[in-house]
Amino acid sequence: MESLGIILAAQVIGAIIMSVGGILFLVRAFKVSVVWGLVCLLVPFGSVIFLFKYFDEAATPFVIQLFGLAVALVPFFLLAPAGSALVPAF
């Protein structure tokens, strides 16, 4: 049961890191132009288009988001017992 606490803490920390990366991504989009900022906020997949078009500006926030995802998911798969309700057995 103590591994569940570690998993939960890692997911919360990962979510915070991903949120910081997302905010930095929006800041970079608004620095390019207000239109790109609004596109990233309101248009589905607009952030992906911005990432590919302005990769130099968007690379760092994107890597921060990927790091946050890794922080959230790696402990989940390493600490949860296989075959439990948390991790299905394949």
Spatial CB neighbours of 30, under 8 Å, sequence gap ≥ 6: 36, 37
Cα atoms found within 13 Å of the Cα of residue 54, Cβ hemisphere only: 18
Give the pLDDT mean for 26-48.
Answer: 94
Q: Is the pLDDT score of 37 beyond 60? A: yes
Q: Is the pLDDT score of 78 beyond 80? A: no
The pLDDT-based confidence of 5 (bands split at 50, 70, 90) is: confident
For residue 38, give both structure tokens. Answer: 């609004």
* pLDDT at residue 7, rounded to an integer: 79
Give the pLDDT mean for 66-86.
Answer: 77
* pLDDT at residue 10, rounded to an integer: 87
